[in-house]
Amino acid sequence: MVVDRNAPLVDQIANQIALFLVCGALRRRDRLPPADAAARHASVGKKTMVAVYQILEQYGMVTSTQGVGTIFTDNAERAARRYLLSDQAVALIRKGHTLDLREEEIAGIFLAALQRIETQRTTETGTIPPTENR
């Protein structure tokens, strides 16, 4: 795994857990250890691990229930894929900011890239994409 040493530690840990979900090392309905135990295992503070669990819950990878604990959701792998893509998008947006691009320009670049991919896909398959409901 490649770790972005410039990313906050919380993001690095959440990214690693998401990668474990995608590769199958962790699975839906697996139970996570309590945050304090996970923090000791990862050699980080409990507040850091609580923040990691909050990110995982925010993206729909886990659900936490008092008395039950924190469990990976049925959609955890899909949620992990969305999180990992989002993580890359954030890095690209930050790169755009360092290049002094405005938000509208960055959004336009993402839309143009999606259109380019759609055009390539259309060319490869020979189908014409629907123009309604876009």
Domain match, 74 and 108 both: no
Does residue 96 lie in a domain region?
Answer: no
Q: Within a domain: residue 50?
A: yes
Answer whether residue 90 is part of any domain: no
- 94 in a structural domain: no
Cα-based distances in Å from 125 to 111, 118, 121? 21, 10, 6
pTM (two decimals)? 0.78
Report the CATH number that the domain containing residue 65 is assigned in CATH: 1.10.10.10
Instruction: Examine residue 67 and state whether it is found in any structural domain, yes or no.
Output: yes
Domain encompassing residue 127: 102-134
Query: pLDDT, tens digit, for every residue of 48-77?
Result: 999 999 999 999 999 999 888 999 999 999
Residue 24 lies in a domain: yes
Q: Classify the phi-psi angles of 24: left when phi > 0, otherwise alpha if psi is within -120 to 50, otherwise beta.
A: left
Assess if residue 111 is contained within a domain.
yes
Tokens of 67: 């008395």
pLDDT digits (tens, 9 = 90+) for 93-134: 999 999 999 999 999 999 999 999 999 888 887 766 666 554
Is the distance from CB of 40 to CB of 79 less than 8 angstroms?
no
